[in-house]
Structure 1
């Protein structure tokens, strides 16, 4: 049985950048240049601030003429108990369940320094429609993920293509900070982000988790 998200997913929203192998491969040449010299060796994290929270059938305001808005289909992992320095083998025991996240953003100039102005506008993190208990998703690395814009598939990928699986992400992040019950881990968006405009209906579908719908508007 699904659980009400608003009762469980009440904590911090942690995003993970560059967690699809295809997206990472697209940027390897960039990462080999100064000052970095190599790809990131640990998860690249960012935070979606509380004002970004949105939900099923919620509206997302387009930033206006001359700006680009891009949806970001992602698997959301909701922590069920606090996790500190947990092993990969034990990590999934700390998960309450899974949900869909649409991590809206303006195009990113740097994955090493995600911009607050691009990532943290009002309504830019839609979550839902519900929380599916972890027991109903035996393997979070075998989920198909699709983005629809006005009924047309614009992105399709699989969590099998993660750079780091859910358990590894929890283990590596909990090495240096505690993940608390209610925190939401946004496990990354795949390569091929597309632009949306006012009037568009944006939907994300993930195997076994349902479909999350948002509407793009202009003020």
Structure 2
């Protein structure tokens, strides 16, 4: 069976947000992911502008009014330092570096002005996707492959970040910077996203909601080395390996 995360990864990913960490930074080993990871689509101002004509076409014929979300199921969870396994039927993938919001308490119908009160902290997410063009049907086959969601390596308490709406997200491939963007360029800020999402669904302690990835997120291939930096949260690194190169007995995980 394929190895998509180590035993250490499994333990880590079952530990995110056991306690509120808003006033300190902790490693993922100290906190527990008891909930789900949600990704956000169409939250990039540049992407929305380039797609405005597409929104007027069938089937919707208008831009989305509420946030467009998708799930990264548990089999996708991966961590800093672990390889990104390139599936046998895929030549390249897209690495979407983004900011993850770690929920610290039950959040229902929160208001923008107090939205950060429900946040334990923030972490780095590397959201991996097989390149595809359509947003009009669930892209499970493209987004939910084993090991396609990197989290960590730590959660930084929200009180330790001066302005979460002015944070730079940088991606390096083979030591060359290939993508850089600011959270100030999001269509919905962190607080606005939380208000709009919790208007129609409850987020629970341990859930992680990421703010979205760039439309031009970099393409990576076999043997590429990837480094994601979000100051002051830290650095997340991985390298791309063809999946058949790592074989383990899943019963030992």
Moved segments of 4+, more than 3 Å: 64-67
**Partner deviation per Cα, 1:191-214 (whole Å, 9 max, x = no partner):** 212211111111111121111101
Q: Does the alignment pair 1:24 with 2:48?
A: yes
Kept in 1, the 8 Å contact 2:90–2:130? The answer is no
Kept in 2, the 8 Å contact 1:108–1:114? The answer is no
Local SS of the residue matching 1:160: helix
Kept in 2, the 8 Å contact 1:18–1:111? The answer is no
**Partner deviation per Cα, 1:38-79 (whole Å, 9 max, x = no partner):** 211110000000000001111111123653311001100000
Kept in 2, the 8 Å contact 1:9–1:182? The answer is yes
Local SS of the residue matching 2:99: strand
Corresponding residue number in structure 2 for 1:2:
25
Q: 1:132 aligns with which of 130, 148, 156?
A: 156
Q: 1:198 aligns with which of 219, 222, 226?
A: 222
Q: Distance in 2 between matches of 1:158 and 1:113?
A: 28
Count of residues in Structure 1 that have an aligned counterpart in Structure 2: 219
Kept in 2, the 8 Å contact 1:15–1:185? The answer is yes
* Structure 2: unaligned runs, 5 residues or longer: 1-23, 245-253
Local SS of the residue matching 2:71: strand
C-alpha change, 1:52 and 1:38, in structure 2 (3 Å) is same
TM-fit CA distance, 1:5: 2.1
Larger radius of gyration: 2
What's the C-alpha RMSD, in Å, of the aligned pairs?
1.3
Matches within 5 A, 1:18-57: 18-57=42-81
* Structure 1: unaligned runs, 5 residues or longer: none
TM-score (norm 1): 0.95
TM-score (norm 2): 0.83
Matches within 5 A, 1:1-219: 1-6=24-29, 7-64=31-88, 67-218=91-242, 219=244
Kept in 1, the 8 Å contact 2:91–2:221? The answer is no
Kept in 2, the 8 Å contact 1:99–1:127? The answer is yes
Q: Distance in 2 between matches of 1:114 and 1:92?
A: 30
